[in-house]
């Protein structure tokens, strides 16, 4: 299946000069969504990236991470923006082009030695994915890799990630 044909390009969003890759058109297509999750799971199995837990980054990482965890027989852990989780959390702050942001996971969600796969819809500059990797490694988890639906190769996000396997289903 040609997944690129299910991704809509929106020019000048969220600001002039940006070409936004919109996944909502993929999500609304039942066959495309099923194929995406099945293909993602197949790639994980082929690369022997079977985690104990999938960590999905807020919020589109939740959309793909949860069904992927189901397919792989893994648990799912949401990495949330600051203040969104009710219990005690592990937290990491990271730099953005325009300031800082932070991500959190519950302290009882992951345990040292857990095998973790980090999943999001897209990798651009790698800042959020890299911060998530630092967070799970700070907890003492074994990072087995990253999985993305879309990779924007020109932004070189991979160079900001640890040296572990990376799956990207679509490249621009």
Indicate left, alpha or beta for 163 from its phi (over 0: left) and psi (-120 to 50: alpha).
Answer: beta
Our answer to whether residue 97 is catalytic in this structure is yes
3-state secondary structure of 84: coil
Report the b/e string of 71-105 with b at 16+ CB within 10 A. bbebbbbbbbeeeebeeebbebeeeeeeeeeebbb
Q: Which of 43, 60, 115, 158 is an active site residue?
A: 60
Question: How many CB atoms lie under 10 A from the CB of residue 48?
Answer: 9
Hey, what are 127's tokens? 């800042």
Please answer whether residues 79 and 103 qualify as being in contact, where contact means their C-beta atoms are separated by less than 8 angstroms: yes
Our answer to whether residue 60 is catalytic in this structure is yes
Q: Which of 21, 43, 58, 97 is an active site residue?
A: 97
Catalytically active residues, by annotation: 60, 97
């Amino acid at each position: 299946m040609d997944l690129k044909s299910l991704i809509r390009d929106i020019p000048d969003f969220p600001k002039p000069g940006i070409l936004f890759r919109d996944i909502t058109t993929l999500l609304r297509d039942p066959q495309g969504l099923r194929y995406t999750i099945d293909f993602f799971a197949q790639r994980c199995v082929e690369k022997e990236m079977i985690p104990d837990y999938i960590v999905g980054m807020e919020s589109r990482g939740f959309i793909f991470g949860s069904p992927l965890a189901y397919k792989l027989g893994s648990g799912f852990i949401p990495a949330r923006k600051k203040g969104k989780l009710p219990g005690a959390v592990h937290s990491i702050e990271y730099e953005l082009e325009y300031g800082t942001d932070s991500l959190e996971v519950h302290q009882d969600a992951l345990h040292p030695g857990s095998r973790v796969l980090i999943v999001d819809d897209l990798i651009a500059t790698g800042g959020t994915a890299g911060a998530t990797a630092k967070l799970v490694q700070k907890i003492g988890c074994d990072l087995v890799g990253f999985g993305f639906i879309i990779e924007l190769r020109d932004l070189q996000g991979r160079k900001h990630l640890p040296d572990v396997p990376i799956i990207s289903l679509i490249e621009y």
